Amino acid sequence: MTTVMTHSAGVHEMGPAVIAIGVFDGVHVGHQALVADTIALARQKDVASCVLTFDRDPDQIVTPDHAAPQLTSLEDKIALLSVVGPDAILIVPFDEWTASLTPDDFVFDVLLDASEPVACMVGYDFRFGTHASGDAETLRHLGAIHGFAVTTHPLIQHGGTPVTSTRIRELVSAGEVAEAAELLGRPHRLRGDVVRGQGVGRSLGAPTANLHVDARFALPASGVYAGWAATTAGRYPAAISVGVPPMFPDATCDLEVHLIGFDGELYGTELLVEFGSRLRDMQRFDSVDDLMKAIAEDIARAAELAAGG
pLDDT digits (tens, 9 = 90+) for 1-36: 999 999 999 899 899 999 999 999 999 999 999 999
Boundaries of every domain in the chain: 3-154, 188-307
The answer to whether 278 touches 222, Cβ cutoff 8 Å, is no
Report the pLDDT value the prediction gives residue 307, as an integer from 0 to 100. Answer: 79
Report the pLDDT value the prediction gives residue 174, as an integer from 0 to 100. Answer: 97
Amino acid at 241: S
Q: Name the residue with higher pLDDT: 75 or 207.
A: 75
Report the pLDDT value the prediction gives residue 122, as an integer from 0 to 100. Answer: 98
- Range 60-70 average pLDDT: 94
Report the pLDDT value the prediction gives residue 278, as an integer from 0 to 100. Answer: 97
Q: How far is residue 191 CA from its own chain's centroid? A: 10
Q: Which of 32-36, 55-59, 67-71, 195-199 has the lowest mean pLDDT?
A: 195-199
The answer to whether 101 touches 218, Cβ cutoff 8 Å, is no
Amino acid at 84: V
Q: Is the pLDDT of residue 77 over 90?
A: yes
- Range 37-53 average pLDDT: 98
Task: Work out whether strand 116-123 and strand 16-21 pair parallel, antiparallel, or are unpaired.
Answer: parallel
What whole-number percentage of the chain has pLDDT above 70?
94
The answer to whether 3 touches 82, Cβ cutoff 8 Å, is no
Dist. CA 17–CA 45, nearest whole Å: 9
- Range 111-124 average pLDDT: 97
Dist. CA 120–CA 51, nearest whole Å: 10
Model confidence band, residue 265 (pLDDT cutoffs 50, 70, 90) = confident
Report the pLDDT value the prediction gives residue 142, as an integer from 0 to 100. Answer: 98
Q: Name the residue with higher pLDDT: 206 or 177.
A: 177
Model confidence band, residue 309 (pLDDT cutoffs 50, 70, 90) = low
Domain 3-154 bears CATH identifier 3.40.50.620: yes
Report the pLDDT value the prediction gives residue 289, as an integer from 0 to 100. Answer: 86
Report the pLDDT value the prediction gives residue 308, as an integer from 0 to 100. Answer: 73
* Averaged pLDDT of the chain: 93
Q: Is the pLDDT of residue 207 over 90?
A: no
CATH classification number, 188-307, choose in 2.60.40.1930, 3.40.47.10, 2.40.30.30, 3.30.565.10: 2.40.30.30
Report the pLDDT value the prediction gives residue 200, as an integer from 0 to 100. Answer: 57
Q: Where are the alpha helices (DSSP H) in the chain?
A: 29-45, 59-62, 74-84, 96-100, 103-106, 112-114, 136-146, 165-173, 177-184, 200-203, 288-307
Q: Name the residue with higher pLDDT: 201 or 248.
A: 248
Q: Is the pLDDT of residue 198 over 70?
A: no
- Range 155-179 average pLDDT: 96
Model confidence band, residue 191 (pLDDT cutoffs 50, 70, 90) = very high
